[in-house]
Homo-oligomer: A and B are copies of this chain.
Amino acid sequence: MENKNDIKKFEEKQVDSELIFDGKVLHVYKDDIALPDGRPSMREYVKHIGAVCVVPVTREGEVICVKQYRYAIGRLMLEIPAGKLDSRDEDPLEAAKRELREETGAISGKMTYLGIFYSSPAILDEKIHMYLAEELEFGETDFDEDEFIEIVKIPLSELVRMIQAGEVPDGKTQAAVMRTEHLLKNIK
């Protein structure tokens, strides 16, 4: 899709870039740009270190979810395990294994890469690497000190039903779980 001729028709070019806020997690920019036809415009956006998420499916066909409060939206959310990369260079697979172990205590014998999930590509560069984790063995959980998390196990078919009923508003959970269901069904 991204051949050179193609992208030229659409590309927006940076004219000037201003770092508005260099936070701990968020890095906010406001850029002057040139549209493909040369006209000036402006883009506000946020840079983020990147993240991973994991759909852990037990041998019994249950998905291990986590329930946690999300301050930015003021809601308790049911989500699959996820977390930020430690650095921009961290191997996403290692990060996924770490988050899985920290949040659920599980070690996976079979990790399947599901690809990238851009959370909100118009305003945020957060790129989430998605994994399916199977063949789970369980040890101790090890939450980050400011994570208050409850583990909830839900049969995959029931979680799909909840998603389809609009009961699971977290975006990455919807995408990764629906893809997992499709993938596992087509293997059987």
Tell me, in angstroms, the Cα distance from A123 to B44 when the chains sit together: 15
Nearest CB to that of A48 among chain B residues? Answer: B123
A115 within 8 A of B: yes
Nearest CB to that of A152 among chain B residues? Answer: B1
A151 within 8 A of B: no
A141 within 8 A of B: no
Would you call the interface of chain A mostly helix, strand, loop, or mixed?
A: mixed
Out of B76, B119, B174, which one reaches A6, CB within 8 Å? B76
Tell me, in angstroms, the Cα distance from A75 to B180 when the chains sit together: 26
Interface residues of A in 1-53 (CB under 8 A from B): 1-2, 6-7, 9-12, 20-21, 23-26, 28, 30-31, 33, 35-37, 39, 41-46, 48
Residues of B within 8 A of A6 (CB): 76
Out of B113, B118, B183, which one reaches A171, CB within 8 Å? B118
Tell me, in angstroms, the Cα distance from A150 to B36 when the chains sit together: 13
- Least CB distance, A91 to chain B, in whole angstroms: 17
In the complex, the answer to whether B70 meets A121 with C-beta atoms within 8 Å is yes
Out of B76, B116, B146, which one reaches A1, CB within 8 Å? B76
- Least CB distance, A47 to chain B, in whole angstroms: 8
In the complex, the answer to whether A123 meets B26 with C-beta atoms within 8 Å is yes
